[in-house]
Structure 1
Amino acid sequence: MMGQLYLALLLLLPLAVGLDFSYHHTQEMEAFLKEVHRSHPDNTHLYSIGKSVEGRDLWVLALGRFPTQHTIGIPEFKYVANMHGDESVGRELMLHLIEFLVTSDEHDPVITRLLNSTRIHILPSINPDGFEATTQFDCFPPYGRYNANMQDLNRNFPDPFNSNNATVQPETQAVMNWIKNEMFVLSANLHGGSLVASYPFDNGNSVTITSDAISRTLDNDVFMHLARTYASNHAIMHKGTPCHNEDAFPEGITNGYAWYRLKGGMQDYNYIWGQCFEITLELSCCQYPPKEELPSFWNDNKMALIEYIKQVHLGVKGRVLDKHGTPIPDVIVEATGRQHVCPYKTHRNGEYYLLLLPGSYKLNATIPGFLSLLHDVYIPNGTANFSALQHDFVFPTEKPGRREMASCPMKPLYSLDYHKNTSATLKPTVNTLIFIYILYEVFR
């Protein structure tokens, strides 16, 4: 009994004096997260998205003015760390970020506005089993990269270019369900072993690979901006200084495929199936550096972590409604020239979010097989005001009943034939408009 009491007091000790700079194992991390939620119940929400192979909870702390559930107009952001269990810096940075956010709220005007306008989800460890298996402090530990089934979680997601025959792991499935159930707009995945911000695609084929050997998304300008935002606000990442025997990274950024090809990665999955822009942040040349170096890692990354969250307010957001103001789900809303292979659709409450750089765009809202609306918009830089441009679409009809749905097969997506098929998804709506116009002329 006394031993258990001593352990409980030991776990809570850092909370009384502030989070210490050391590596926090599962019990310590759980105690910290629970104490943060206990101390800040109004602006935090602690929940588990599932369990690891060995039964450890995958804890997430959500922060914001409405932390327990989605609020219309408030974008959802996430940080995910410790995907490879031996890449430990990101795990500790997430705990210190949580402490910084809750202690700065109502004191720092930037953090206060950020929490007023954003729901932030932080998953400090997606691979707690791997972290616990990393017993040797080393630049590149011999154990801990994989989960308890010896699977690399960043090779375990469905891949848009190649069939991925890997058995989906519990941790992977938990994240896929999490992405499906929330409405994430922007994300970053924290790794170690290099110092660079990497952006999609990680994989590719003849449809996406360009002459300069990158695998380009239709939102390449946005992804490069996101990577540059993090790198330029990092103390040294923007210098492009290589680690070990790597090539230098100009501006501290790289296209994932141009660096090395990766099948089954999480950032490609987020972009294709989650309607969420994600980049990968490599934050340390050593995967498991000495704990004495953690304060300098926090100082190097603190500003970049905050500035990156603010980018969730880029672009445009809004709702799609019928003439009675009823929200319409599953409406495709995309900028002309940026039609995604898996169409980006409104959610159950008719909401949409599109990350776009400032400029003029044509937005197309399409009810598949029924009707389209095309609007010209000018998008300012919403990060300055912590809010993307608000732009709603109102269809001059009743909310349609059963109708053709925009589908997205699971694998693989990127083939020339599939692009031919998806490029035609808007054509029926054009024909429908012509038909409606003819009926109007005949019967008016």
Structure 2
Amino acid sequence: MANLNPSLLLFLSLNLLHLFHTVFARGGERDSGFVDITYAASGRHLSEESHFQKLNKLAHGYMTNSDLEKAIKAFHGRCGRISRIYSIGKSVLGVPLWVLEISNNPGKEEAKPAFKFIGNVHGDEPVGRELLLLLSNWLCDNYMKDPLATLIVDNVHLHILPTMNPDGFSLRKRGNANNIDLNRDFPDQFFPMNDDLNERQPETKAIMRWLKEIHFTASASLHGGALVANYPWDGTDDRSKSYFACPDDETFKYMAKLYSGSHFNMSQSSEFEEGITNGAQWYPIYGGMQDWNYIFADCFELTLEISDNKWPPANELRMIWQHNKRSMLHLVASIVKSGVHGRIFSSDCGEPLPATVAIKDINYTIKASERLADYHRLLAPGQQYEVIATMAGYKTRTTTITMKEEAVTLDFILEPDTHFLPNQCSSKSKSKSKSKSSLKISELLPKSQLEVSLTLVVVLGFLFFLMKRKAIINHFKLRKSQQQRRVSAV
């Protein structure tokens, strides 16, 4: 070893470090994936202060949290016709978690699928927050000009959260302000962890509330430190590092390949075949957001590693955007260009039914939306599927479809099972008419006037009762006297 060329030793050391850097991109124990080659080659570690300074220098050219908020509001000001902005909560340090919705009818509930992008889950992986603003502006600039942009805006409700971890970004570290890795803070299917709501981080709680309010068909979170499309499961039931397939393994592989294949060079990876990986086979993690989306929210989520370098110089951001642009657009468009979509109705009264949709031999179900009863079920193309619609009180319906490269539209009309659900429509109609009349009264009168009016109605009703009572008593007195007169006359 003493006779080895020092340059060769340095080269080997750096490549080994790059290997470890890639392996721990999704969830190593380190605060950051940044490696200083001078210190690494000599076997030394950066101090916390100099580490922060290095990352701080790299942050020049990136948007600060304040810049990001201004950019989001400026986008809405420029593209308000097809967008709205809203906050899903605040970080530990009180920074609003701003979301951009892009759609031709933003904020309206429609029978369309919804997709979400989340960036900056880890504070030291900021590329996603920049790319998501570039994506938003591209859609605004190209709506009604580019077919793909127009397809997305007209047929999808796209929600974009540029930063889930603004505090971690400001602090130049992986975790949030409480030093918690947000991609380990969700409830886990295999092990009892993060089950106490009070113990979860505010950023995690915000995501969980968000998915209760909006039924997302699919989503992706943007990370850095590798170049690969990662899909469930992220963990195994015995903590082993091995391929662990979820029920929709084929569909997830289709989605991951769609992203990788549209990317500039992700599919050419020498480390990951076709540029995709099963999370548990790469390395298992627990409490991750990706698996939680699929299990608890009917949402098919990918974890996308979009840059080998966690914190590349800002002058490389445009190039990284160009490398990922087609992938991001095609992934969003895929939720309307593939899969099976439709609505579910009752045969006797035409009411929309929030029924459950299942696929034979796939142990996973989704539910149609409550109000419009629309469903959007992603499926890998090139196969036949038996689609099953079920709802309590109705007869189950099954239809076989053949999935090619395009989407299939399949509506269900379910017949009531009269043994379990008699007069369902009439009871619904009565309930609706009551609720509508109540709604009209409350809409016509402000709260204070409504209270006064109700009091007056009660008083008048009581007076009417007294008058009626008196009239009834007088009536019976009169009848009694008349009967007495008639008897006496006889």
TM-score class normalised by the smaller sequence: 0.7 to 0.9
Q: 1:212-223 to 2 correspondence within 5 Å?
A: 213-223=242-252
Q: Quick check: 1:332–1:368 contact (8 Å CA) kept in 2?
A: no
Structure-2 separation of matches of 1:174 and 1:165: 15
CA contact (8 A) 2:188 2:194 kept: no
- Bigger relative contact order (CA 8 A; separation at least 6): 1
Which residue pairs with 1:367 in the alignment? 391
Question: How much has 1:394 moved relative to structure 2?
Answer: 0.9
Percent identity between the two aligned chains: 38
* Partner residue of 1:319 out of 332, 343, 351: 343
Cα shift at 1:69: 2.4
Within the candidate set 182, 194, 199, 2:226 is matched to: 194
How big is each residue's C-alpha offset from its partner over 1:151-185, in whole Å with a ceiling of 9 and x where there is no partner? 10000001111111472111001101111111100
1:228 aligned residue (242, 245, 257): 257
Matching of residue 268 in structure 1 with residue 301 in structure 2: no
**Aligned pair 1:170/2:202, yes or no?**
yes
**Retained in 2: the 8 A contact 1:77–1:309?**
yes
Show the counterpart of 2:66: 27
Cα offset, 1:368, TM superposition: 4.2
CA displacement, residues 378-415 of structure 1 (integer Å, 9 cap, x when unaligned): 23323xxxxx322111112279769xxxxxxxxxxxxx
Residues 228, 304 of structure 2: 8 Å contact kept = yes
Shift of 1:352: 1.6
Q: How many residues matched?
A: 355
What are the residue-to-residue correspondences of 1:253-332 with 2, within 5 Å? Answer: 253-313=276-336, 314-323=338-347, 324-329=349-354, 331-332=355-356
- Aligned to 2:362, what secondary structure does the other structure show? coil
Per-residue Cα deviation, 1:291-324 (whole angstroms, up to 9, x for no partner): 1211211111111111111111221111221111
**Distance in 2, Cα, partners of 1:155 & 1:381:** 36
Check conservation: 2:121, 2:163, Cα contact below 8 A: yes
Aligned to 1:5: none
**Which residue is 1:117 aligned to?**
155
State whether residues 116 and 216 of structure 2, in contact with CA within 8 Å, keep that contact through their aligned partners in structure 1.
yes
The TM-score, its normalising length taken from structure 2, stands at 0.70
One-letter amino acid of the counterpart of residue 215, structure 1: F
Q: 1:23 corresponds to which letter in structure 2?
A: Y
> What is the CA–CA distance in structure 1 between the aligned matches of 2:147 and 2:401, rounded to whole Å?
30
Q: Show the 5 A alignment for 1:139-158.
A: 144-158=173-187
> Please, which of 55, 76, 95 is the counterpart of residue 37 of structure 1?
76
**How well do the aligned residues superpose, as a CA RMSD in angstroms?**
2.0
Residue equivalent to 1:379? 403
Matched, 1:392 2:373: no
Q: 1:52-91 to 2 correspondence within 5 Å?
A: 52-72=91-111, 74-91=112-129
> Is the contact made by 1:22 and 1:294 (CA closer than 8 Å) also made in structure 2?
no
Asked whether 1:106 is paired with 2:130, we answer no
CA distance in 2, matches of 1:217, 1:133: 36
Q: CA deviation at 1:67?
A: 1.2
Residue identity matched to 2:366? Y
Query: How many angstroms does 1:233 deviate by?
Result: 1.0
Unaligned residue ranges in structure 1 (runs of 5+):
1-20, 135-143, 242-247, 383-387, 403-444
TM-superposed deviation, 1:370: 5.4
Query: Given residue 319 of structure 1, which amino acid in structure 2 is its aligned partner?
Result: R
* AA of the residue aligned to 1:226: M
Q: Is 2:74 the counterpart of 1:49? A: no
Separation (CA, whole Å) in 2 of partners of 1:57 and 1:69: 23
Find out whether 1:131 has 2:163 as its counterpart: no
TM-score normalised according to structure 1 size: 0.77
Question: What amino acid does structure 1 have at the position aligned with 2:141?
Answer: T
From 266, 269, 277, give the equivalent of 1:237.
266
SS in 2 for 1:353: strand
Q: Which residue of 2 aligns with 1:421?
A: none
Once the two structures are superposed, what CA deviation does each residue of 1:56-104 show, in whole Å capped at 9, x if it has no partner?
01111010111112311x1101110100011011111111111111111
User: 1:233-259, CA deviations, whole angstroms, 9 ceiling, x for partnerless residues?
Assistant: 111111114xxxxxx111111000000
- Structure 2 vs 1, CA of residues 401 and 183 (structure 1 numbering), >3 Å: closer, same or farther? farther
- For 2:281, what is the secondary structure of its paired residue? helix
Any conservation in 2 of the 1:322–1:398 contact (CA below 8 Å)? no
1:348 to 370, 379, 393: 370
Q: Which aligned segments of 4 or more residues in structure 1 are displaced greater than 6 angstroms?
A: 398-402
Gaps of 5+ in 2: 1-59, 423-490
Name the CA distance, whole Å, in 1 between partners of 2:65 and 2:194. Answer: 31
Amino acid aligned to 1:287: K
2:340 is matched by which residue type in structure 1?
Answer: V
Could you tell me how far apart the structure 1 residues matched to 2:236 and 2:374 are?
A: 30
Q: Following TM superposition, by how much is the alpha carbon of 1:213 offset from its aligned partner in structure 2, in angstroms?
A: 2.7
